[in-house]
Chain A
Amino acid sequence: MTTHAATDREPAVFEIAHEADLIRVRKVLRAEAQTAGLNLVDATKLITAGSELARNILNYATGGRGRVSVERVHQQGRQGVRATFADGGPGIDDIEAALADGFSSSGSMGLGLPGSRRLVDDMTLTSAPGSGTTVVIVKWQR
């Protein structure tokens, strides 16, 4: 579904390295959600999922660094927002387990990935041990 969606223009790309960048992620997602015509509930879900994923980068990626890109996408007359969260961290051994509720490698509640997945229409996770993690989320206009 995500792979065939067309993009409108160049994505907004920025680094995640500090806590303040979480606020930037929320701001950019809020602006794109509004432009794409997402309703308030969907926009709130998208922003919250983005906040969780950006925090994952700060907490788990090597040096707490990563990169986020946000772009507007459209497919069959519907608009949506796609956000990509990439880091060069340790990667995830067992993706299935990481997406299961309650899984946590850090002693937190382990809500980040499974919870974020429930908040968006589509989420893909690509990772391998030692080669980082990329999470792509998409939320469509209803």
Chain B
Amino acid sequence: MTDDVVPVMKIGDTLLVALQGDLDDTTVIQIEEQLTREIAHTSATGMLIDVSRLSVVDSFIARVLARIVAMVRLLGAQAAVVGIQPAVAITLVELGVPMGHLDTALNAEQGLALLRRLRHDDAGADRP
């Protein structure tokens, strides 16, 4: 698709997205739209958003990340944010951005394990 702004890898039924560089607001919104499309158009049941190469995450970017995760869930999949830099984590907590409801993991490997667990919980909840 021509308006894709970020490369997305599909590993099994999980989409892996790595964000990097200095993101302006327009790019962040475009990424949000692209990722929502990708989940809807593929049969992926999970998405990992790797932010390990983002050296700054301000309240706007954080808010959009939370929105992406919420939308992925609405579309019937699971999403997690992985690789938040320690300095970014400290900054977000002091800034006061509410991210407690976000599923996060230290890295992509642990993120995959987290998605497996979330999917399992989902499946388990459906059983009597």
Contacts and interface: CB of A to CB of B under 8 A. Distances in A.
B94 A55 contact: no
B96 A115 contact: yes
Nearest to A46: B91
A119 B25 CA distance: 21
Interface string B40-76: 0000000000000001111110010000000000000
A55 B91 contact: no
A51 interface: yes
Contacts of A93: none
Contacts of A48: 56-58, 91, 95
A63 to B, nearest CB: 17
Interface of A: 19-20, 22-23, 26-27, 30, 40-41, 43-45, 47-48, 51-52, 55, 101, 109, 111-112, 114-116, 118-119
Interface of B: 22, 24-26, 55-60, 63, 85-88, 90-91, 94-98
Top 7 closest pairs, chain A to chain B, by CB:
A44-B87, A115-B95, A51-B58, A41-B87, A118-B94, A23-B22, A115-B96
